[in-house]
């Protein structure tokens, strides 16, 4: 790693670009690994592991994305700051998704003063909210709403 | 920074002034001290741009995550309308194009100009192959009537098919309002099975068309960028010392690959096989 850092840091005296050059065979090897992982993820999709399916699919996808970013995109031998810029995007994406998820999941529960009327996840009337309209329940639940009966989605 | 004390010579930077301490190569812009500094600045800019691209796609990934959590049933059902084999083929095509893009950069790094051109051409051809396969997928789905709002729209909306009406192979199944039977859209999926989709399935197809559509737009832009890099390379504007555009163009292409690596399992490989 130290040797590679020296390569990427651009502190060479002549000021010329000295980027790390991997061999063509190495890139073909990475491609082989990516194809292998693609077959794995397609194969897994034919079996039902319940909620583990999506976890396996995302782990494999992240492994593939990691291979592409690390080697095809040269992050392995690049400046560390570029990796940080790249990973920062995923950090902010995670914040974005988690906060939105929290908002959608709890909206009806907490902001009944601001017009929240049903729990988004169950379609039930939110505590303190006005009764849900039947049109909304029809659209989201696919069966006629029974007054007060909880509707399970899963 | 280091050159603050040096006298400024307007209009002389690109000229061959051999007497200078370090001669400016023609590709080195005025405001950079060294080619390495210029290269690293360009790369950082590209990575920040890639971060913004991820966040742009992030809006759609967020919509996907929320909707799948809220209503997983439509994902389980509607994903049978996507052809796994076509999706997998496109994945392999894109992965291979990423390989050739990386090899194009490598050839540029070692100064093999012809080889760089060859790899760039292969990459662009793979992009074409991807779009051709995508075209077949899209046209099949449009033929089925799976575009959002058509089969799935509220019957009151203009353009939406009415109960009992047929579009393509899509049939709006009559709903018995009195008995409270919900409305369904009947369509034949990729395995030839008749599926009864709730009208809210348009969320899945909406996400499918938007995510793959935005990605397809990036494929087109990536092809244009690589084409521009190819032309410049054939004009002999790149060398072992200067290949920034090849590197950054390839980075953009790898980004297109990265997005697809996530789109493929999320859209095509939803669990729950039949």
Tell me if the pTM is above 0.90.
no
**Is residue B177 situated within a structural domain?**
no
Q: Which two tokens stand for residue B75?
A: 């994902």
Q: Residue B166's pLDDT is what?
A: 64
**Is residue A127 situated within a structural domain?**
no
Contacts of A35 in chain B (CB under 8 A): 92, 95
Q: Residue A62's pLDDT is what?
A: 96
Smallest CA–CA separation between B212 and chain A, in Å? Answer: 17
| B174 band by pLDDT with thresholds 50, 70 and 90 | low
- The helix-helix angle for B113-144 and B202-234 (nearest 10°) equals 160
Structure ipTM: 0.83
Q: Which among A16, A50, A93 has CB closest to B55?
A: A93
Residue-wise DSSP of B198-254: -GGGHHHHHHHHHHHHHHHHHHHHHHHHHHHHHHHHHTT---SS--HHHHHHHHHHH
Which residue in chain B is spatially nearest to A103 when comparing CA positions?
A: B66
Q: Which among B35, B91, B242 has CB closest to A15?
A: B35
The DSSP code for A76 is G
**Is residue B245 situated within a structural domain?**
yes
**Is residue B72 situated within a structural domain?**
yes
**Is residue B103 situated within a structural domain?**
yes
Which residue in chain B is spatially nearest to A35 when comparing CA positions?
A: B92
Mapped onto helix, strand or coil, the DSSP state of residue B186 is strand
Total number of domains constituting chain A: 2
Q: How far apart are CA B129 and CA B131, in angstroms?
A: 5
CA B131 to chain centre: 10
CA B258 to chain centre: 8
Q: How far apart are CA B55 and CA B255, in angstroms?
A: 12
**Is residue A58 situated within a structural domain?**
yes
**Is residue A60 situated within a structural domain?**
yes
A83 pLDDT exceeds 70?
yes
Phi, psi of A149 (to 5 degrees): -85, 130
**Is residue A147 situated within a structural domain?**
no
A153 to B257: CB separation less than 8 angstroms, yes or no: no
Which residue in chain B is spatially nearest to A10 when comparing CA positions?
A: B36
A2 pLDDT exceeds 60?
no
B88 pLDDT exceeds 60?
yes
The DSSP code for B132 is H
CB pairs under 8 A between A and B: 180
Output the CA torsion sign for A70, A72, A75, A77.
positive
Contacts of A88 in chain B (CB under 8 A): 51
**Is residue A141 situated within a structural domain?**
no
B274 pLDDT exceeds 60?
no
**Is residue B206 situated within a structural domain?**
yes
- Candidates B247, B177, B126; CA nearest to A19 is B247
Place of tokens 């909210």: A129
Place of tokens 């040096």: B6
Total number of domains constituting chain B: 1
Q: Residue A143's pLDDT is what?
A: 47
Contacts of A153 in chain B (CB under 8 A): 70-73
Q: Please tell me chain B's helix, strand, coil percentages from 3-state DSSP, rounded to the nearest 5.
A: 60, 5, 35
**Is residue B4 situated within a structural domain?**
no
Read off the pLDDT of residues B179-233 as tens digits, 9 standing for 90 and up.
555 567 777 777 777 777 777 788 899 999 999 999 999 999 999 999 999 999 9
Output the CA torsion sign for A106, A109, A114, A116.
positive
**Is residue B240 situated within a structural domain?**
yes
State the pairing for strand pair B194-197/B184-188: antiparallel
Contacts of B22 in chain A (CB under 8 A): 15
| A45 and A86 part of one domain | no
| A34 and A56 part of one domain | yes
Q: How far apart are CA A126 and CA A119, in angstroms?
A: 5
The DSSP code for B195 is E
- Per residue, the 3-state secondary structure of B116-129, as one string, reads HHHHHHHHHHHHHH
Which residue in chain A is spatially nearest to B89 when comparing CA positions?
A: A38
Which carries the bigger pLDDT value, residue B130 or residue A149?
Answer: B130
| A63 and A84 part of one domain | no
**Is residue B80 situated within a structural domain?**
yes
Q: Residue B62's pLDDT is what?
A: 95
Chain A interface mutation, best of B65, B99, B154, highest count of A Cβ atoms under 10 Å: B99
* CB crowding B119-144: b at 16 or more within 10 Å, else e: bbebbbebbebbbebbeebbebbeeb
**Is residue A65 situated within a structural domain?**
yes
Q: What is the CATH number of the domain that holds B265?
A: 1.20.120.80
Domain that holds residue A88: 79-107
Smallest CA–CA separation between A131 and chain B, in Å? Answer: 19
A93 to B62: CB separation less than 8 angstroms, yes or no: yes
**Is residue A115 situated within a structural domain?**
no
Read off the pLDDT of residues B60-77 as tens digits, 9 standing for 90 and up.
999 999 988 888 888 888
B58 to A78: CB separation less than 8 angstroms, yes or no: no
Q: Please tell me chain A's helix, strand, coil percentages from 3-state DSSP, rounded to the nearest 5.
A: 60, 0, 40
**Is residue A55 situated within a structural domain?**
yes
Domain that holds residue B118: 60-133+202-269
Mean pLDDT computed over B162-189? 62
| B164 band by pLDDT with thresholds 50, 70 and 90 | low
B47 to A82: CB separation less than 8 angstroms, yes or no: yes
The DSSP code for A118 is B
CB atoms within 10 A of CB B158: 5
Contacts of B49 in chain A (CB under 8 A): none
Contacts of A90 in chain B (CB under 8 A): 54
Contacts of A85 in chain B (CB under 8 A): 44, 47-48, 50-51
| A27 and A51 part of one domain | yes
Smallest CA–CA separation between B193 and chain A, in Å? Answer: 17
């Amino acid at each position: 790693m130290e040797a590679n850092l020296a390569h990427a840091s651009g502190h060479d005296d002549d000021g010329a670009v000295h980027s790390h050059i991997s061999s063509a065979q190495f890139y073909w090897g990475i491609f082989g690994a990516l194809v292998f992982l693609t077959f794995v993820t397609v194969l897994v999709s034919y079996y039902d592991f319940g909620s583990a399916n999506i976890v396996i699919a995302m782990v494999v996808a992240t492994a593939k994305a990691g291979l592409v970013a690390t080697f095809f995109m040269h992050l392995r031998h690049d400046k560390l700051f570029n990796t940080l810029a790249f990973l920062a995007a995923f950090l902010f994406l995670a914040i974005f998704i988690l906060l939105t998820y929290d908002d959608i999941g709890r909206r009806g529960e907490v902001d009944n003063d601001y017009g929240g009327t049903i729990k988004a996840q169950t379609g039930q009337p939110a505590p303190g909210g006005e009764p849900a309209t039947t049109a909304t329940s029809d659209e989201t639940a696919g069966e006629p709403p029974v007054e007060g009966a909880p509707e399970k989605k899963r | 920074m280091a050159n603050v004390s040096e006298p400024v010579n307007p209009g002389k930077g690109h000229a061959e002034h051999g007497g200078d301490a370090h001669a400016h190569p023609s590709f080195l812009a005025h405001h950079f001290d060294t080619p390495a500094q210029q290269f690293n600045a360009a790369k950082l800019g590209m990575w920040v741009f890639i971060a913004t691209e991820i966040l742009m796609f992030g809006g759609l990934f967020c919509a996907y995550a929320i909707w799948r959590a809220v209503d997983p049933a439509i994902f389980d059902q509607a994903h049978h309308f996507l052809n796994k084999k076509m999706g997998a083929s496109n994945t392999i095509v894109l992965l291979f194009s990423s390989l050739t893009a990386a090899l194009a950069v490598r050839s540029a790094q070692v100064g093999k100009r012809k080889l760089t051109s060859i790899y760039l051409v292969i990459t662009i051809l793979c992009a074409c192959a991807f779009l051709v396969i995508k075209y077949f997928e899209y046209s099949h789905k449009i033929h089925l009537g799976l575009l959002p709002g058509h089969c799935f729209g509220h019957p009151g909306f203009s353009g939406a098919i009415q109960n009992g009406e047929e579009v393509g192979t899509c049939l709006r199944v009559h709903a018995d309002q009195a008995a409270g039977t919900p409305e369904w859209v009947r369509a034949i999926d990729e395995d030839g099975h008749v599926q009864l989709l709730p009208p809210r399935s348009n969320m899945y197809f909406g996400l499918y068309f938007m995510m793959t559509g935005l990605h397809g737009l990036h494929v087109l832009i990536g092809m244009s960028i690589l084409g521009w890099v190819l032309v410049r390379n054939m004009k002999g504007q790149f060398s072992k010392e200067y290949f920034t555009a090849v590197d950054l163009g390839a980075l953009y292409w790898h980004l297109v690959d990265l997005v697809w690596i996530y789109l493929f399992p999320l859209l095509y490989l939803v669990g729950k096989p039949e």
